[in-house]
Amino acid sequence: MNERHTVAVGEPLLSLQHVSLSFGGVKAISDVSFDIRKGEIRAIIGPNGAGKTSMLNVINGFYQPQLGRILYRGEARKRMRPYEAASQGIARTFQNVALFKGMTTLDNIMTGRNLRMNKSLFWQALRHGPALQEEIAHRRVCEEIIDFLEIEHIRKTPVGALPYGLQKRVELGRALAMEPELLLLDEPMAGMNLEEKEDMSRFIVEANRHLGATVALIEHDIGVVMDLSTRIVVLEYGRKIADDVPEVVKADQKVIDAYLGVAH
């Protein structure tokens, strides 16, 4: 890992400056600027089609904005591919779970360690000597994550056979296995019942506080967002309409009109 610039807690880890993204004639994001500070939980909310997922895709390098600048750890970012973003410590989960359905929970989480494996494919295939030592070390990290997420009982279950709520948890596990500096969560609680949401909230808070991951999350459950996040950015039709702490955003008339409806 190249941790050349360590960022102090509270300093901007990532900042987006006047970012615009369009697909042909459709403007997904227009002139949006905000930053994510080290150590915070940053929520991105907005109505459907506001450009939230596009925003995450820009952050992890899946989309290249046509205009604007992205600074990561204080450095302007060049064009980059998602795996480069990953190797710089940006991990994510997806709105529609994107796991390897035929593989077990453990194997899925192990794939999150892929970027941290140093031994060559040759040694790994032999599963011998230093490669075996390395695998044991990685397995240990994965087992700690399994313990952390309380999914011991599905360790050996193919994820395709798991209920949705658990698949979401496994996906979070895979992202955490990367030991990310910045964790992007795209609707981590969609389709969950109250209890599952409470569990997931707890994991996000603990990942943030104890594992030191800075979190950026998209979520539609406003109660969860208000409880969890340090600051909230509100998008509508690709524009930023508000950016502040939850108490202020909640009372913002523009946000209420565009998204919240009656004040919560």
Partner 1 sequence: MGLPPKRANADDTFAKLLRMHARVRGGRPAFRHKDFGIWQTWTWSQVYAETCALAQGLGGLGLAKGDRIAVVGANRPRLYWTIAAAQMLGAVPVPVYADSVADELALVLDHAGAKFIAAQDQEQVDKIFSVASRLPNLALVIYDEERGLSDYSEPRLRSFESVIAAGRDALADPSVAAALDARISAGEGKDPSVILYTSGTTGRSKGVVLSGERCIAAARDTVAFDNLTDRDEVLAYLPLAWVGDHYLNYAQGFVAGFCMACPESADTAAEDLREIGPTFHFAPPRVFEALLTRVMIRMEDASAPKRWLFRHFMGVARRWGESIANGRRVPWLARLHYALGEALIYGPLKNVLGFTKIRVAYTAGEAIGADLFAFYRSLGLNLKQLYGQTEAFLYVTAQADGAVRADAVGPPAPHVELRIAEDGEVQFKSPGMFVDYFQEHDKTREALTTDGFVKTGDAGFFEPDGQLKIIDRAKDVGRLANGQLFAPKYIENKLKFFSDIREAVAIGHGRDFVAVMLNIELASVGNWAERNAVGYASYQELAGNPRVAELIAKHVDAVNRALASEPVMAGAQIKRFLILPKELDADDGELTRTQKVRRSFIAERYAPLVEGLYNGAAEAAISAEITYEDGRKGKLVGSSRIVDMPIHPPAKRSAAA
Judged by beta carbon, residue 121 or residue 136, the one nearer partner 1 is 136
Strands 214-218 and 90-93: unpaired
Q: Which of 5, 69, 81, 153: binder of partner 1 (CB under 8 A)?
A: 153
Do 185 and 154 touch, CB atoms closer than 8 A?
no
Report which of 68, 11, 58 is spatially closest to residue 36, judged by C-alpha positions: 11
Structure tokens at 94: 């997806």
Q: Which of 32, 43, 146, 232: binder of partner 1 (CB under 8 A)?
A: 146
Query: What is the Cα–Cα distance from 56 to 147, expressed in whole angstroms?
Result: 28
Interface residues for partner 1 in 22-51 (CB under 8 A)? none
Contact region with partner 1 (CB under 8 A), list: 35-43, 141-149, 211-219, 233-241 = 141-149
Report which of 132, 137, 106 is spatially closest to residue 119, judged by C-alpha positions: 132
Structure tokens at 250: 């909640």
Interface residues for partner 1 in 74-113 (CB under 8 A)? 106
Maximum CA extent, the chain: 63
* Phi and psi torsions of 205, nearest 5°: -65, -40
* Phi and psi torsions of 243, nearest 5°: -160, 100
Contact region with partner 1 (CB under 8 A), list: 71-79, 135-143, 213-221, 223-231 = 135-143
Q: Which of 62, 94, 148, 237: binder of partner 1 (CB under 8 A)?
A: 148
Minimum CB–partner distance for residue 138 and partner 1 (Å): 13
Structure tokens at 7: 């960022």
Contact region with partner 1 (CB under 8 A), list: 68-76, 144-152, 220-228, 241-249 = 144-152
Decide: is 3 part of the binding site for partner 1 (CB under 8 A): no
Q: Which of 3, 11, 75, 150: binder of partner 1 (CB under 8 A)?
A: 150
How many residues bind partner 1 (CB under 8 A)? The answer is 15
DSSP 38: T
Decide: is 155 part of the binding site for partner 1 (CB under 8 A): yes
**Binding positions for partner 1, rule: CB under 8 A:** 106, 139-140, 143-144, 146-148, 150, 152-153, 155-156, 206, 210
